[in-house]
Amino acid sequence: MLDAITLFLFNIVVYNIPLLYGTAGEIMIEKSGSLNLGVEGTMAIGAVAGYVAACRTDSLAIGVLAGFVAAGLCGLIFAFLTVTLQANQNVTGLTITTFGVAFYYFVGNGLSNSGAGWPALNRTTLGEQFKDLAIPLLSKIPVIGKGLFSHNILVYGGVVIAVLMWFYFEKTIPGLRLRSIGENPAAADSLGVNVSLYKYIHIIIGSGIMGIGGLYMGLNMGGTFEGSNCWINGYGWISIALVIFANWSPARALIGTLVFGFFNTLRVYNATLAYVFPHSLGWLTGIPSHFFSALPFIITLLVLIFSSMSRNGKSGEPAAIGRNYYREDR
């Protein structure tokens, strides 16, 4: 019984981390005043590029770098089109999503049908680098210790990125300048802030962070490529909704992604919980499996509805989000 609870807590974190990378990356981009709807495609490109690089080199570090760079290139394209060429941000983001998912299938099917085949995850070398690392003392706490404090390095990396991002936004001068661009780019420009440069840098870095989340999903799923299902599977769209749920705060994103991680875990382990706790949770078996598959997206819809209804003066949404900045209009 206790092992089932530990496993459930463990998987809440597992399902939470890709969302945390995607949400944190999108928050950084939106803080610059840009709205990137290409999270799904960016994560897909980071996933396939990072996974193939990691398997070819048997190096998790190279895989992370490749995923970051490949996704960062998506950010560079988005920045060039929307910042330099002043293209519509919504259309550009949706185009990147379409291209990214198509690129995932193109590379995956291409390698699968080639002589070399789709690269298999080497669990002896690469798997060793992706193994769970227990946090001293905390991992020894009964029931919750192994569930919450014994995970691989990319899990801890996601938490560290979210915390550092919060510190960057709230406690540093460059972070303050970035927030000022998101609120009023003309005012920031008049004070000597290079608006275009700040946008380029943070869009690229934010996109790169999303790519690491995509790589995590590929490694966590054992690297199995299916020609009909993308590893990302809607996580990019949920990440965009979580930005609103977290009120554009990386610290709140830690909590928000755990909530979605809970519902994702419930989708997978509802039958197990019903078996272990037949008296209290046995009713879960009476719910159609399709409902649990749709549950994360239902929660996403509810989050958007309630977030829109409960807006107040403390909203963290950048005032200039989604609007291109024309320097000549100052």
- Per-residue pLDDT tens digits for 55-73: 999 999 999 999 999 999 9
Is the pTM value of this prediction over 0.85? Answer: yes
Structure tokens at 324: 């291109």
Identify the pLDDT of residue 61.
96
What mean pLDDT comes out for the span 269-278?
79
pLDDT exceeds 70 at position 104: yes
> Do the beta carbons of residue 178 and residue 169 sit within 8 Å?
yes
- How far does Cα 158 stand from its chain's mean position? 9
pLDDT exceeds 70 at position 2: no
7-20 per-position pLDDT tens digit: 889 989 998 999 99
| Tokens 């099917």 sit on residue | 109
Q: What phi and psi values does residue 133 have, to the nearest 5 degrees?
A: -120, 115
As to burial, measured by CB atoms within 10 angstroms (0-12 exposed, 13-18 middle, 19+ buried), residue 223 is: buried
Q: What phi and psi values does residue 51 have, to the nearest 5 degrees?
A: -65, -45
pLDDT exceeds 90 at position 327: no
137-149 per-position pLDDT tens digit: 999 998 899 999 9
Identify the pLDDT of residue 124.
76
The neighbour count for residue 195, using CB atoms within 10 Å, is 19
Please, what are the domains in the chain? 2-324 (1.10.3470)
